[in-house]
Structure 1
Amino acid sequence: MRSRRVLDAEKEAALKETQAVSVPSDTERAEHVVTPSVQYPNPGYLGSSSHTTLFDQLQLDRDVGPNGFSRGDAGGADSPTEYIIDETCISRGAEFILELHRGSMIRPLVQLVEIWSTKGTNLALAGAFTEPCAATATHLLSQCHGDQATALEISRNLFNHSCRPISLNRETTFDDYCGKICGQNARWESLGIFFIAACRASIDLSYAETLYGSEQQRRKIQKLALSYSDRCLDLCLHLDCMNDVQLILQYENFISHSQVDGDQNVAASLFALGYHQQKPESFGDVPVFLNRLRQTAFCRTYSADKNVSIFLGRPPRIVRKFCHFYLPSLEPQPPQKASRKPPIWNQARGPNFITDSRWAALCGILKEDILDLYTTDDYDERNRQARLIDADACAQWNAIPADYRLDCDLKSCNRQPVERDFMANMKLNYLHVHFLLRLACVYPMTTGRDPGLFQVSTKMLSLVVETIMLKDQIINSGTSLVWKVAYYGLSAAGLICLTLVNKGFATEIPDLSVSKVFQDLSILVGEIERGTLVYIDSPNFALLSRAAQTIKSLLDRMLSNSMAAMPGTQPDLLPDSETMATLEGGSWALWDSSNLQDFEINFWHNLADHPFLND
């Protein structure tokens, strides 16, 4: 996904020169005048070290807003600034509207979203906008009669509204805000949010009458709805007019792409909007619900950035030491700064998207600090820092209200399906923090021994397998089942497989329940092979299928008739000491690296080459 461009000083100067010699006619101005929130194209958030901030200090009569934008340049809701909308873009939008009209997909997609939302789930960030955006999509398409003229008029109105700032003040209500972006004031962002909701609904609902009845048809609807959202977002980004609704669309689009196609990026827009530098003095300038929405957007994106970077073995894009952000909270709680210190939780409310976002951000902070451990060459210092992180992680978990913590097995959890999934998410995130922390302390892997790492892995895998088995009794709360399997399940299964093929590890694990481990691994393999988790053209199909093949090979070898006994009781089951010495000193040091190892497809290719699985 194309991120929002940020102009540097040279580009700004060149743009001003171009504007000076290329002045639109009065007719063009009168036809397409709208009111942007700042002069466009704009460079977005500019911090205290920027050239603009330095020069703004020389203009003392200007009122500089808390978000870093100069209000003298911004142009409020009543200060008209001219902006020319490219006719080519309007034509592209009209073609899109005609395509939607001819496809007659709006009504069935609206019905799909309605069925989905009645089950208690919704978009994690844009959930409150789903219903009004769906109604807006119906309203827009009802105005199109299938001819070019009405399609152009709808497209032009969408562009005009998308360029217009969303005026608000402290007293603006959520319904007022929706009225400024939906219905008669519909924007491309509103239409995009609806299509994202339709995409996510098709991901969660395995069957939807009239739309799809097979996995192939469902995948087709997922990709179609996501492509519609992409086109809406692309038209918004082309305008270079940032706002909260566009950021919400970008986040939800990013999450859906991660489930349907793979990695995406929304961090650039967060930085450009300045949401990485939240200041208490700015809270009074906007409505409470919008402040909460901005805080939630940052927390969820921050957490997703950490998870994706760990999963793919890439550096994170959002680094906390350059950020100052707050945890979202519900009234009457005041904003609380995000840190490793446990926040105050509202005991009266059950798990929901706000609590899930708070916990995700807190775990993201811990994971970022754990990533820093891998750059510490002094292993005594690494272990000292690890103990501090471990204590903070336990303190964070204990600070959560007891009703949020999954302290029993998932089947015994007597909660609503969506709440049960929230609790599973929180527990998996907590276990993953301990998994990463212990992994950082066993370096190199071939010489370090930590039975606790294996135990955390078995707990994490067991919970993932339980969510697989009970998938009909939980409702997706924002983190899909496939993501749980790929992110948490494969990490745990990978460590367990390494332990089982390593003679030294398998004989030193206390209270090792081999039957339970084999049962969980077998269920994981069975669900993947039977296609109940991913379809053949899903983005994670190759990764999961390769992992399943490797795990199955391991299980077959250990349970074959040629083996006389189970591991831990019979040394000949595993590679002999000479073989392991060669592996430990040669090419089999998968874990001996200064960087966090992920469990992407190369890991499973390498593990499949282990002599234990090939001799």
Structure 2
Amino acid sequence: MSPSVAAVSSGGHTTPGYRRNGKLRACEPCRKKKLRCDHAVPVCGRCVAREQSERCIYHPQPLSRATEYGPRRQIRQMRRNPEISSRRPQVFAIETCSSPIQLEEPEQREPSGYAAYDEPLLGPCEPPTRESWPTQPKSPQQDSCGGKCGSQGFLGTTSHTAIFSEAMENFSPALTSSLVFNGEDTISEGEINHSYNIVAFLEDRNMVDLLIERWYEHSEGSCICPGFVMKQWLEQVWRHHDNALAGGHTATKWRLCESLWRNTRSPLLVGKATSASTWISRGTGENLRWQVIGLVAVVAGLCAACLSPSDVLFVNNKVIVSDFVNKMAEVSRACIAICRSCNAMDDLFVWLLYEHTRLVRAVSGEGSHDAYRAGGETNDALITMGLHQNTLVNDEVPFFLSELRKRLVVGIYAMEISTAVFLGRPTRLSHQYCSISPPLDLADEQLTLEGTDLEASLECLDLDGFNKGKRLSRTTWLKVWLPFDQLREEVLNLALGQYTRDKVLRQADGIQQRSVEQWGRLPSFLRKTQDELAEARMLKPVEVLFRTVLRQDYLSNELLLQRVLIQKTGASSAKLIGIAQEVLRDVLFITHRYDIASTIQTDLAFLLLIHGMRSGATIAVELLRQEKVASCPENAQLPRSQTIQDLSVFAARLGAVDSSSGAFRMCDQGRNAITSILNKILDLRSVQLPDCQQSDQQPPLIPIPQLHLDLQAQAPRSLDLGTCLVTEVDQNLEFEELVTLGNDHDFMRWLENADWGPSDS
């Protein structure tokens, strides 16, 4: 050790000193190889990991040293010129005896996931020094996705490896297996430093247990991770690591972080004979992984986001809901970054990405770029795993995992279609290139059954895979949602694509016919409307939500299709208005349940924003048209009094969305817009409208050409209501122009630019 280092160590300093630019000095090995040094004293973690502690020195002026002579210089020359090594083999013997100098050191990079994160959550700490070890090598065998993924992920039939796999597998299986990456990696001390504080949220065990329990009690399985899986995970975590999570920077917690890194880098092996209990245990206890830590955090965050800020759970624990939810989002984001650096690509990682995307949508909003980016990574991971092509039971996939994968794929696809339609953008996950199988309508606990018990459970399903007990769960919802989402993708393609008028009419007619047929094939208990549900007010909040959303899936497709027909074929708006009335009626029905707003307010805000805003805006604009036209038919499609009452209630519901919700800003803008339109309508009552004679034909419909908000220049026109179809409009009225409803993102952007000002009501 050099004198400078000895002086620093004896002086009790914890840093090696600073350079002239204010940054910490790097040790010589890290400086020469341009690697990121963790600046630990007396030996940095990277040098410990690479077994070169004797070479780890912090030189105060590294560029002022004299030229080296002797064996070290000769070795450096031999690295640059291989011919020297053949002429002077004795130098190796001299140097390897005196100091273990490595002649070939593969350059290691810091995990890429940390480069984008500067949160205090990932700040460094001072754990006890510990050497790293190599992780278990990844198995080169065929993975559980059904294809040889390796380090590149799923490779399809057009990839270069397909040639070798198809042509050479019968001749030399060893050749095809050699195409799969197989290597070892090490865990550096710096990597553990960055992740040491991530598990700190588990110190409050009581809070975590209560939130997880509340989530699975009220959500009825509204999570890709079943309740029995999460329960076994937490039981094993508390049993094996309760002391390590008690608090403080202890050596036990340090060893826990080490094992988390090691387990995450090892493959999550599964075979057809793997039981559900065995598979679950491979992610918890002594096998605890960062994916599980992230899933615990994100489920706790989702539960907190759904509950009221005044819930007794938060009041008693003095927890600020918004801060807690943001903290859980940071934890899940940090866990995802670690999984990226570990090249972890398994079912648990895709689960984490999917649930993290849901949490980001709840925090940042449906239309935020953070949510859009998180959804894109989830789609990418799904394809990389090969789950878009194969989720069926085979020699590598047991029954329970196959069903969980079906639920996962349908959930991710539905989320992507919802986002694409809301933003008016092309979908990034198309059913044309995916083989999506609907899941069986089984309860979560039934997935763990085997043998005769499993066969008995399957006998309780009808021919289409629905349960015969009229039980409504999230799996039922996903199973119904899949065909309607595929139809919605076709509507989106019709809106964004370049088609002739005849082709639009022909494809729209086909979509309508298939939609009606699909709705008719559903079990009768799923097709009941709100009026037919005499016991609706006795149902649990989540059951009411499921029934409402199921009906909205069917109605929303028709509403979106009518908007496309108005835009591209000049169709009448009469059918659109009728559908919008039905949608708004369902939305108002569910908002009458106060217990829904207190237990699943995130889903309620989503329903108000996605479905309610579409229909409410359509009805408000149509009602304003009826009030402003010079003449109107006696049989106006919208009854004035009832419509004003409904819109007033809807505006109040929008105003009740909590300010911490990601949907608050858009809902508040929508409330201001609808309130302003209602004020205009009420002000117009002082104007005496002339009587009009009833006519069998509707008045001629003309588009409004002017739009002073430059909406068309700001956003693409897709899923357009078309231009607002109206009769002759009095240009002297105060309301300068009517709203041109484009896609949902267009409408939200128009709301942002419109200066509504505070409403008087």
**Structures share fold, TM-score greater than 0.5:** yes
Aligned residues: 563
Shift of 1:469: 1.8
- Paired position in structure 2 for 1:493: 616
- Amino acid in the other structure paired with 1:356: W
Distance 1:588 1:205, change over 3 A: closer
1:472 to 595, 614, 618: 595
- 1:114 and 1:593, CA in 2 relative to 1: closer, same or farther beyond 3 A? closer
Shift of the 438–82 alpha-carbon distance from structure 1 to 2, 3 Å rule, reads: same
Contact 2:272 2:397 in 1 (8 A): yes
Structure 1 position 483, deviation (Å): 0.8
Kept in 1: contact 2:587–2:608 (CA 8 A): yes
Tell me the distance in 2 between the aligned counterparts of 1:538 and 1:554: 25
Match of 1:387 among 492, 509, 514: 509
**CA-CA distance at 1:71 after TM superposition:** 5.0
1:599 and 2:698 aligned: no
Q: 1:528 aligns with which of 643, 654, 658?
A: 654
Higher relative contact order (CA 8 A, sep 6+): 1
Residues 141 and 507 of structure 1, relative CA distance in 2, 3 Å threshold: farther
Does residue 273 (structure 1) correspond to residue 376 (structure 2)? The answer is no
Q: Which residue of 2 aligns with 1:10?
A: none
Secondary structure of the structure 1 residue equivalent to 2:254: helix
User: 1:404 aligned to 2:526?
Assistant: yes
Deviation at 1:210?
Answer: 5.2
In structure 1, C-alpha distance between the alignment counterparts of 2:607 and 2:215, rounded to whole Å:
20
Equivalent position amino acid for 2:302 in 1: R
Q: Which residue of 2 aligns with 1:338?
A: none
Instruction: Report the residue type matching 2:565 in the other structure.
Output: C
Report the alpha carbon displacement of residue 511 of structure 1 after superposing the two structures with TM. Answer: 4.8
**CA spacing shift, 1:431–1:590, aligned 2, 3 Å:** farther
Aligned-pair RMSD on alpha carbons? 3.9
Relative to structure 1, the CA distance from residue 213 to residue 386 in structure 2 (aligned partners, 3 Å threshold; closer, same or farther) is farther
The 1:507–1:154 alpha-carbon spacing in structure 2 relative to 1, beyond 3 Å, is farther
One-letter code aligned to 2:243? S
Distance 2:425 2:244 in 1: 47
**2:399 maps to what in 1?**
288
Aligned residues of 2:718 and 2:743 also touching (Cα < 8 A): no
Q: Are the equivalent residues in 2 in contact too, given 1:309–1:316 (CA < 8 A)?
A: yes
Q: Which of the numbers 126, 146, 165 marks the counterpart of 2:248? A: 146
Residue 555 of structure 1: SS of its match in structure 2? helix
2:233: which partner in 1?
133
2:349 to 236, 246, 253: 246
Cα distance change, pair 214–602 in 1 and its aligned pair in 2 (3 A): farther
Measured against aligned partners, the alpha-carbon deviations of 1:32-55 in whole angstroms (never above 9, x if no partner) come to 222435599811111111122224
Structure 1 residue 87, shift from structure 2 partner: 3.1
Confirm or deny that 1:42 pairs with 2:164.
no
Deviation of the 1:89 alpha carbon: 1.9
Aligned pair partner of 2:413 in 298, 302, 327 = 302
Task: Name the structure 2 match of 1:108.
Answer: 207
Quickly say closer, same or farther: Cα 1:292–1:272, change in 2 above 3 A. same
Structure 1 residues 170 and 498, CA gap change in structure 2 (3 angstroms): same
Superposed CA deviations along residues 483-540 of structure 1, whole A, max 9, x for unmatched, are: 11111111111222222233579759765333332222111211333xx3231x4322
Q: State the 1:478 CA deviation.
A: 11
Match of 1:348 in 2: 469
Q: Matches of 2:363 and 2:589 in 1, distance apart?
A: 23
Aligned to 1:369: 490
Work out which of the residue numbers 189, 206, 219 in structure 2 matches 1:87: 189
Farther off after superposition, 175-184 or 543-552: 175-184
1:164 aligns with 2:248: no
Give the structure 2 partner of residue 117 of structure 1.
216
Give, in whole Å, the separation in 1 of the partners of 2:173 and 2:543: 43
Aligned-residue offset at 1:480: 0.9
Q: 1:347 to 1:508 in 2, by over 3 A?
A: farther
Contact 1:212/1:218 (CA < 8 Å) preserved in 2?
Answer: no
Identical positions, percent: 20
* 1:420 matched to 2:544: yes
Q: Mean alpha-carbon deviation: is it higher for 150-159 or for 556-565?
A: 556-565
- 1:11-63 alpha-carbon deviations (Å, 9 max, x no partner): xxxxxxxxx954599xx998222243559981111111112222444532589
Q: Distance in 2 between matches of 1:112 and 1:153?
A: 27
| 8 A Cα contact 1:112 1:208, kept in partner | no
1:435 match: 559
Q: CA deviation at 1:351?
A: 1.6
1:49-80 deviation digits (Å, cap 9, x = unpaired): 11222244453258989xxx9655558xxxx9
One-letter amino acid of the structure 1 residue matched with residue 551 of structure 2: K
State the AA in 2 paired with 1:132: Q
Partner of 1:12: none
1:451–1:510: 8 Å Cα contact kept in structure 2? Answer: no
Structure 1, residues 232-262: CA drift from partner, whole Å, max 9, x if none? 2221122112000111111111111111123
Aligned-pair CA distance for 1:119: 3.1
The letter of the residue matching 2:562 is R
Residue 257 to residue 137, structure 1, CA distance change in 2 (3 Å): farther
TM alignment of 1:307-326, pairs within 5 A: 307-326=418-437
Change (3 A) 1:215 1:512: farther
Provide the C-alpha distance between the structure 2 equivalents of 1:231 and 1:548, rounded to a whole number of angstroms.
Answer: 36
- TM, length-normalised to structure 2: 0.66
Alpha-carbon distance, 1:123 to partner: 4.0
Cα deviation for residue 289 of structure 1 reads 1.0
1:187 aligns with 289
Relative to structure 1, is the Cα distance of residues 534 and 36 closer, same or farther in structure 2, using a 3 angstrom cutoff? farther
Hey, what does 2:121 align to over in structure 1? none
What secondary structure, in the 3-state scheme, does the structure 2 residue paired with 1:175 have? helix
Distance 2:667 2:424 in 1: 17
The aligned amino acid for 2:487 is: L
Instruction: Give 3-state SS (helix, strand or coil) of 1:171's partner.
Output: coil
- Distance in 1, matches of 2:232 and 2:210, equals 14
Q: Is the 8 A contact 1:198 1:225 kept in 2?
A: yes
Answer yes or no: is the 8 Å Cα contact 2:302–2:325 preserved in 1. Answer: yes
Unaligned runs of 5+ in 2: 1-102, 109-129, 142-148, 366-370, 443-453, 694-698, 720-741
- Give 2:566's aligned amino acid: V
Give 1:334 shift: 13
In structure 1, C-alpha distance between the alignment counterparts of 2:632 and 2:323, rounded to whole Å: 45
AA matched with 1:172: T
Q: Displacement of 1:355 after TM fit? A: 1.4
Alpha-carbon separation, structure 2, partners of 1:214 and 1:431: 43
Superposed displacement of residue 587, structure 1 = 5.5
Conserved 8 A contact 1:550-1:608: no
Q: Matched residues in 1 for 2:634 and 2:553: separation? A: 27
In structure 1, what is the equivalent of residue 25 of structure 2? none
**Counterpart Cα distance in 1 of 2:528 and 2:172:** 50
CA distance in 2, matches of 1:431, 1:62: 56
Contact 2:470-2:525 within 8 A present in 1 as well: no
Which AA in structure 2 matches 1:204?
C
Aligned-residue offset at 1:367 = 0.7
In structure 2, what is the Cα distance between the partners aligned to 1:405 and 1:420?
A: 13
CA deviation map 1:566-604 (0-9, x unaligned)? 9x9789xxxxx99x9793366589799752232232132
**Rg larger for:** 2
Match of 2:50 in 1: none
Structure 1: distance between partners of 2:171 and 2:668: 60
Distance in 2, Cα, partners of 1:118 & 1:443: 45
CA distance in 1, matches of 2:605, 2:706: 36
Distance 2:456 2:166 in 1: 36
Tell me the distance in 2 between the aligned counterparts of 1:384 and 1:215: 60
Q: Is the 8 A contact 1:133 1:193 kept in 2?
A: no
CA distance in structure 2 between the partners assigned to 1:379 and 1:469 by the alignment: 42
